[in-house]
Structure 1
Amino acid sequence: MEAKIGITAKNRQAVSEQLAKLLADEYVLYTKTRNAHWNVEGPDFLSKHKFFEEQYGLLEGFIDSVAERIRKIGHYAPATLKNFLALTHLTEYSERKNDSLGYIKDLLADHETVIEFIRGNINPIADEYGDAGTSDYLTGLMEEHEEMAWILRAHL
């Protein structure tokens, strides 16, 4: 059934395409944070193991909320690893040491990439596509990523 929410089908499609990219970014960032949680080594292992667990817990909620936002505007969320890897702005880890500092730097860079992507979509989604709801949602999500980036940055 088509969503009749005051936004044209063409505009809902355009918004859903941006949200699909964001969903892919969130999923890749979640996976990378899980990787850090599982594989971190060093004298700060326990504190960083717990820290990364808190971080991926937040990201898990973001993933669900982005997917549900896509559904709310009448589209289906991409839900395969193949789709996520094709849509994401992020890259997977290359071979690296499993130290907390390296993970934190990588994750911070990814959060900053996500923040820039979201920030670049807030006004166009409201102004060009007439979707104030998604624009507002993205503003809140961006603020969540800004806080996570700040916390990561504070560890450096």
Structure 2
Amino acid sequence: MQIDIGIAEADRKAIAEGLSKVLADTFALYIKTHSFHWNVTGPMFNTLHTMFMEQYTELWNALDEIAERIRALGYPAPGSFTQFTKLASIQEETTVPNAQEMIRQLVAGNEAVARTARAVFPTANDANDQPTADLLTQRLQIHDKTAWMLRSMLE
């Protein structure tokens, strides 16, 4: 069935492609944050273990919102490791870094998701796609704040 929500098909496709990158970065950050939650050690263990759990839980919930917006635009949401690896700008961590390096990587990861989300804004705004702009705004508020809080732990 044809979609007629007031956004041209080409714009819907471009927005869905941008959101697919946001979804992939969010998934990559989710996996990294969850792994760090499991593996953190050191004097800040309890604080970081709890903080990372709050962060990965928030990321997990965000995945559904992003994927459902892609679907509402009429496109399939990526859902495989292969797709996420191709689309994500965040590299996986295959070792267990120390707690300070974990924090540094999560700062970088949150900043990466923010950059990816910001890149979708021009297309969403030009297409008059307020739901996507709202979703992106919400995601940016969370990633900017999380990066700031983590960055503060490194000072």
TM-score normalised to the size of structure 1?
0.92
Q: Distance in 1 between matches of 2:44 and 2:142?
A: 25
TM-score normalised to the size of structure 2?
0.92
Q: 1:51: how far off?
A: 1.2
Alignment of 1:61-80 (within 5 A): 61-80=61-80
Q: 1:132: how far off?
A: 2.7
Q: Distance in 2 between matches of 1:147 and 1:138?
A: 14
CA RMSD of superposed structures (Å): 1.4
Q: Distance in 2 between matches of 1:46 and 1:140?
A: 28
Unpaired runs of 5+ in structure 1?
Answer: none
Q: Distance in 2 between matches of 1:48 and 1:130?
A: 40
Runs of 4+ in 1 over 4 A off after TM superposition: none
Aligned partner letter, 1:113 = A
Q: Secondary structure at the match of 1:49?
A: helix
Does the Cα contact within 8 Å between 1:122 and 1:136 map onto a contact in 2? no
* Residue 119 of structure 1: aligned partner: 118
Q: Distance in 1 between matches of 2:19 and 2:119?
A: 12
The alignment covers a number of residue pairs equal to 154
Q: Deviations over 1:33-76 (max 9, x none)?
A: 00100111112222211111011011111111100111111111
Q: Deviations over 1:85-107 (max 9, x none)?
A: 0110111115353x221101001
Q: Distance in 1 between matches of 2:51 and 2:134?
A: 29
